[in-house]
Amino acid sequence: MRAIHYSVIFILFTLLSFSQDKKKIIIHHADYSDINQQVLPDAVILTGNISAEHDGLNMTCNKAYYFEKENYLKLFGNVHIVQGDTLTMNSKYAEYNGANGFAYAQGDVLLTSPDSTMETDTLKYDRFQNLVFYDSHAVINNKGNILESQRGKYFTEEKKFQFFTAVTITSEQGTVVKSNHLDFYEVPEHAYVYGPSTVTNKGDYIYTENGFYDVKSDIGKMVKNSYIWYDQRKIAGDSIYYAKQKDYASATNNVVITDTINKAKITGHYAELYKAQDSMYVTKKALVSMKSKEGDSVYMHAPRILLTGKDKERVIRAYKDARIFRDSMSGKADSIHWSEKIGLTQMIGKPVLWNGDTQLTGRLIHMLSNMQTEQMDSIKVIDNAFAIQKDSIGTGYNQLKGVNLYGKFKENKLSELDLIKNAEIIYYMYNDKNELVGIDKGICSHINVTFDDGKIATATKFVAPSSDLYPDALLPKNARLLRDFLWRGDEKINSLDDIFTDEELLNEKKTEKERDDKKAGFDKPLELQPETMPTSSSQTKDKKVEKKKEERVPTPLQIQNNTAPVKQLQPKAQVQKITK
């Protein structure tokens, strides 16, 4: 009976001291208590409906060991820990250190916050730093979003998860985000990824090494080694914006769009893509390259290029000083339109086309390609049509003119031309010794010209021809050029580098360093988007708090050696039921 008396006095004294010191753990209730120094030194063994509290943290369980000196509590069976309206933690087993505010939970751990639930096997909680961390696999449910990782942290004030190793988010809409380092803000449902990461969304695939993704709205921004697969099109750029609900994406700086179906590649420094409309807009040194079946490529450039239409029915519109280049051909016009379905290229507004040594001009130029071979088939020049070749021996120009011009190609080279209506010719004729015989100048209704290796081989006049062969000395200089003659050889595009204007190349050099500086900044974590953290001051505060927490987080839980988990014991000494 004396042992029971001492036990009651000790427990009452303990409860009284707890109530006087708020920093001590308070035991509000237990059905039974026991002290057994041999089995569990310096501990009170509590059994049945335990209720405890420490500085606003409420704890309940089936059994508990309390270590007064360490201000430390072990909880067994149906453990329930509540931190106000912020967190609720359930587990099979838990430990709580009142000295430093650390809690440890193990076994079917369920952590509940106002916006999320977390399931894991082992969990640690630092109350004073408002930080939860774990190093065993965890599954979090956030408003229907399922988040998984091997390791992670939860910052309760910021409502932010920080995940490491094998991170996966599966959104309510079916979007899957994967990474090895991901920060997730649960209230706006925003994810920030660092290192190799992917987003898969109903046929769309995104890769990035530094980016932001709004899981709720399916909107993302990626800024390092990023690209998107849109069906059979790959979009890459220094910075990419993505909006799934609008089927929209844009890319900025060093943009490369690869169309695997149409064997096309589009580059520039800014692009917008509208998936539902099968269209894209490219500007800032925009260039389209298309590989033919023969293996050579056709290039089209303009300050602005618009591509529309489904596969095999693509239409390209290049405008405001558009240019085209191929090994055997080049040209320019105010705008160039190309239709894949019918193989038609239209050059509109002061067009000029060079094929070999021949320059073709007129009000409008149309070219048709052979759909099977993808080689040039025919050409039409409408209104004030001119075909001009610079004389290869002398200083003059061979000239053909008509209202309209029709031509045929063979292996992408001009093989024949027909000038129709009011046809005129000036042609320098040489003998086998390359001596000038005379200058043929004539008019008729129709002139047919054939070519041999790019040079005029024959010229035949039809319907009321009128022609004279003038000796060189008898034809005045001012009579050697047809009306409206314009030689534009200085504009000829001789290589792919020539397809860009001098102004564009100069601007490229000026802005290259600026783009490189921006790209270098992409190695740093992406700054929080305004909609994630509304004010800049709160962003600064969050960074300071996070840094402080990182420094404090211990690797093992900071507990005394003699408080390691022990098996649940049946009390050997007599117990006294606490008066309710």
Kindly list the domain boundaries of the chain, sorted by start residue: 2-129+553-577
User: Rounded CA gap, 237 and 220, in Å?
Assistant: 14
Q: Measuring CA to CA, which residue among 192, 196, 135 is closest to residue 158? A: 192
Which residue, 175, 174, 179, 177, is CA-closest to 163? 179
What pLDDT does residue 563 have?
A: 34
Give the model's pLDDT for residue 515: 72
Q: What are the structure tokens assigned to 392, written together? A: 């290869």
Contact 230, 273 (CB under 8 A): yes
Residue 269: which of 285, 258, 280, 248 has the closest Cα? 285
Instruction: Please enumerate in sequence order all residues whose Cβ is within 8 A of that of 481, keeping only pairs 6 or more positions apart, or say none.
Output: 397, 399, 426
**Residue found under tokens 């209230």:** 187
Of residues 225, 103, 232, 217, the one with CA closest to residue 171: 217
How far apart CA 78 and CA 71 sit, in angstroms, is 21
Residues 6+ apart with CB under 8 A from 110: 89, 90, 91, 117, 118, 119
Q: Which helix (H) or strand (E) holds 264?
A: strand 264-274
Residue 134 confidence (pLDDT): 95
User: Which among 85, 91, 59, 56 is positioned nearest to 72, based on CA atoms?
Assistant: 59
Q: Across the strands, what pairs with 355? A: 329, 358
Facing residues of 79 across strands?
91
Which residue bears the tokens 């290229």? Answer: 345
82 CB contacts (<8 Å, ≥6 apart)?
A: 57, 58, 59, 88, 89
Closest by CA position to 449, among listed 420, 404, 415, 487: 415
* Contact indicator for 144, 170 with CB cutoff of 8 Å: no
Report the pLDDT value the prediction gives residue 3, as an integer from 0 to 100.
40
Q: Which residues of 526-549 are buried (b: 16+ CB within 10 A; e: fewer)?
A: bebeeebbeeeeeeeebeebbeeb
Residue type, 155: F
pLDDT in the model for residue 533: 60
**Counting runs of H as helices and runs of E as strands, what totals does the chain give?**
3, 37
Q: From the CB of residue 54, how many other CB atoms can be counted at a distance below 10 Å? A: 21
pLDDT per residue of the chain (580 residues) written in tens, 0 to 9: 344 343 444 444 444 444 444 589 999 999 999 998 888 888 999 999 999 999 999 999 999 999 988 999 999 999 999 998 889 999 999 999 999 999 999 999 999 998 899 999 999 999 999 999 999 999 999 989 999 999 999 999 989 999 999 999 999 889 999 999 999 998 889 999 999 999 999 889 999 999 999 999 999 999 999 999 987 889 999 999 999 999 999 999 999 999 887 788 999 999 999 998 889 999 999 999 998 877 788 999 999 999 998 888 889 999 989 999 998 899 999 999 999 899 999 999 999 999 999 999 999 999 999 888 888 999 999 999 999 999 888 889 999 999 999 999 998 999 999 999 999 999 999 998 889 999 999 999 999 999 998 888 899 999 888 889 999 999 999 999 999 999 999 999 999 989 999 888 888 887 777 777 776 666 777 777 777 764 433 444 444 444 444 433 333 333 333 333 333 333 333 333 333 3
CATH assignment of 2-129+553-577? 2.60.450.10
- DSSP letter for each residue of 479-517: GSS-TT----GGG---SGGGGS-HHHHHHHHHHHHHHHH
CA distance linking residue 312 with residue 374, whole number of Å = 13
Angle at 30 between CA 28 and CA 35, to 5 degrees: 110
- pTM of this prediction exceeds 0.95: no
Contact 374, 361 (CB under 8 A): no
The pLDDT of residue 14: 46
**How far is 140 from 376, CA to CA, in rounded Å?**
60
- Report CA 17 to chain centroid distance, whole Å: 61
Distance set, CA 457 to CA 47, 218, 358 (Å): 112, 64, 13
Neighbouring CB atoms inside 10 A of 20's CB total 8
Q: Give the distance from CA 320 to its chain's centroid.
A: 29
